[in-house]
Amino acid sequence: MDCRNISITKAGILAWVALVSLFLLVGCTPPIMDSALTPRMAIHGNQPPDAPGDVLGQLAAVTVLYYGFDQKLHQGQVVVHSELAQDIRDVFTLIRQTHFPIESALPIAHPLIQAKGPFGVSPDTNNSSGFVWRPLVGMRWVSLHALGLAIDINPRLNPFYKHGKVLPPGASYDPAKPGTLTSQSSVVKAFKRLGWEWGGTWPAGDQTDYMHFQKIPPSLAQWVKGYRS
């Protein structure tokens, strides 16, 4: 069996032991464990005191498989709004099948991320992640990340540019490097097919955010407006 075709079901957030057993059963090497937090810990753990329960209660911890830059299979987790959970499963299935490399996919609550800054918020990271309760860069209202409606992929390879500012600090954009997103990337095309907006095509005069994808389902438009008006 081709190990790239092993899937994690929706209910599937397979327990680690069951996942290892599945890989061994079909003759595959089990993935390297990057993150296996309980859903409650991944969503509610180590959050700032002002993170609203209304938001936390609508999030889902999605277990994902991906190949790292070591060319080995890894397991991580992405926390997003529950309405976008299947989209993330679908895109990460493509990421795994095409061996698009991911540095790591750890929730903001993960101890390794928490060590980087207060409540895990730090611009200096190459971690791919979704939910983080924080304001929009340079603004007073919250980012779509704070509502679980955005994800960043390999930030150090796909940086944010605005008026001469670059995040992560010292990062540069080289489309030739593995793990970099371009308009022709299968990952970008997959997100767009699912209705996501890519920050890499935002007007260059304002800002460009190569790492960033976002989506507001119509059913959540009014809810989002309540946090961003």
Give 212-216's long-range contacts (Cβ < 8 A, gap of 24+). 212/150, 212/151, 212/152, 212/160, 213/150, 213/151, 213/152, 213/153, 214/144, 214/149, 214/150, 214/151, 215/84, 215/87, 215/149, 215/150, 216/144, 216/149
Question: Which pTM does this prediction carry?
Answer: 0.87
> How many domains, the chain?
1
| Mean pLDDT across the chain | 88
Burial class (CB in 10 A: 0-12, 13-18, 19+), 71: exposed
Give the range of the structural domain holding residue 45, as residue numbers without chain letter: 3-228
Mean pLDDT, range 199-219, rounded to an integer? 90
Residues of the chain with pLDDT > 90, as a percent, come to 69
pLDDT at 134 over 80: no
